[in-house]
Amino acid sequence: MGDLRVCLVGNMNNNNYILAKMLRREGVEADLILLNNEYRYFLPEHYDEDLKDGYPEWIKKVKWGTGASFFYTTKDIILKDLKGYDIYIACNLFAPAFLYKAGLIKKTIVRVHGGDLYLLPFWDRLLKTYKHYLRPFISLPVYYLSNVQKKAIKECLAVFTLPHGKIYNSILRLKILDKLKVIGAPIDTNKFSPQYVEKIIKFRGIPSKIRNIIANMEKYDFTIFSPTRHFWTKNTVVLNPEADKGNDILILGFKKFIESEKVNPLLILVEKGPDVMASKSLIKKLKIEENVLWIPEMTPSELLYLYYFSDIVADEFKDGRYASVGLEGMAMEKPVLVYIDKEFEVMTGIPFPPCMNASNPDEVKMLLKDFNENRVKYNRIGRLARIWVNRYHGKGLVRKVINLIEKLLIN
């Protein structure tokens, strides 16, 4: 890559931090710019705890990034913070709009994560979703920002995403199919690997709070671990249908499995998301509290242990796609219970991942039954899943990104 300098702007779900780390391993000079609206769980120190004492020189913070700051942050301020790079990768709700304002959008790849593409650029969708919140005094600036975001995405160098559902429909509506590059979320397969966990257990041991959870797991026949946030009730989903995780499908399927089989499994859930109480109420109603363990939200470094000691990892079941939980579970060589749309391979050109594919409670029940009867089969699925995730979201993804950047800059 020579002296190429890459600037990754914004850090939704730590996507750009992970990608920056992986690019740097390949010898690329990649810097990460953290905006002032990064959710605390999407800060690098939440992903890698050794950063709590400070960032390396390639991670920098700026004083802009919120929707409000877009209107008082000048072009010169943005350019000063982002000067000296050959290409930019934006991954934050408003990052494309800021890069457009600075005149850098022609050198920008937009790494789509959801609402930045399917919601913000479309005024009609914003009105429908937030009609009770958009009062006259804020409607005009939101309308303006929406239009800037639309222009940014239409004029950018390329769009990185896995096309599906509302994302793909939005790409068609914006008429940017020619900009689409099929690049999914990066996953650090060096960190998320059984070998890495075994190494840290050998040298550091297991934290006491994790040991207590593992002691609980040992009382059951097998463990399903689902660190997915709880987002599934009608009142919650109405504001963001794309974010529906279908947690109720997993819980109902788990109940059906327990009822039909003479087995004693454990389902571990994380107290994360607006519908935790709804999930707890459903579990109580189904009378399966004895087979469910709730744990507090943890960092990725802490979750590593639970991925390692669990038998199955459960992702999400509504939108027809896998999320970071699924990728992390696959990287840890676990069979992942998830719903992936049958059109995945056609839409992306990527082979269907080895997984336990379920879209409703009955399918969840049948797959759990099959797992209980065929452990060797699912151990193999887990091993194949790691190979797949490394190829399409790990080292293979980084090499593809580097090749695309080279081609985009030549063109």
> How high is the pLDDT of residue 226?
98
> How high is the pLDDT of residue 360?
98
> How high is the pLDDT of residue 134?
61
Q: Which are the contacts of 346, defined by CB distance < 8 A and separation ≥ 6?
A: none
Q: For residue 270, give Cα distances in angstroms to 34, 75, 86, 366, 392.
A: 27, 42, 41, 24, 27
Q: For residue 277, give Cα distances in angstroms to 244, 272, 360.
A: 16, 10, 21
CA–CA gap between residue 35 and residue 87 (Å, rounded): 18
> How high is the pLDDT of residue 117?
87
- In a shared domain, residues 348 and 229: yes
> How high is the pLDDT of residue 243?
81
The answer to whether 181 and 320 have CB atoms below 8 angstroms apart is no
- In a shared domain, residues 208 and 314: yes
- In a shared domain, residues 71 and 142: yes
- In a shared domain, residues 261 and 357: yes
Q: For residue 342, give Cα distances in angstroms to 135, 345, 353, 355, 367.
A: 41, 7, 11, 13, 17
Beta-carbon neighbour count of residue 74 at 10 Å? 11
- In a shared domain, residues 38 and 105: yes
- In a shared domain, residues 202 and 320: yes
- In a shared domain, residues 252 and 312: yes
Q: What is the pLDDT of residues 348-388, one digit of tens each?
A: 999 999 999 999 999 999 999 999 999 999 999 999 999 99
- In a shared domain, residues 48 and 126: yes
- Residue 409 in tokens: 């800059």
> How high is the pLDDT of residue 132?
65
CA–CA gap between residue 91 and residue 224 (Å, rounded): 31
Question: Does residue 329 carry a pLDDT above 60?
Answer: yes
- In a shared domain, residues 90 and 172: yes
The answer to whether 381 and 354 have CB atoms below 8 angstroms apart is yes
Q: For residue 38, give Cα distances in angstroms to 60, 64, 87, 119, 246.
A: 13, 10, 21, 18, 26
- In a shared domain, residues 154 and 233: no
- What's the total number of domains in the chain? 2
> How high is the pLDDT of residue 227?
97
> How high is the pLDDT of residue 2?
56
* Containing structural domain, residue 146: 5-186+395-410
Question: Does residue 49 carry a pLDDT above 80?
Answer: yes
CA–CA gap between residue 358 and residue 318 (Å, rounded): 10
Q: Residue 42: which of 229, 199, 314 has the closest Cα?
A: 229
Question: Does residue 263 carry a pLDDT above 70?
Answer: yes
CATH code of 77's domain: 3.40.50.2000
Q: Residue 160: which of 86, 89, 58, 78 has the closest Cα?
A: 89
Q: Which are the contacts of 341, defined by CB distance < 8 A and separation ≥ 6?
A: 164, 165, 320, 321, 347
- In a shared domain, residues 25 and 118: yes
- In a shared domain, residues 153 and 69: yes
Q: What is the pLDDT of residues 160-202, one digit of tens each?
A: 999 888 889 999 999 999 999 999 999 999 999 999 999 999 9
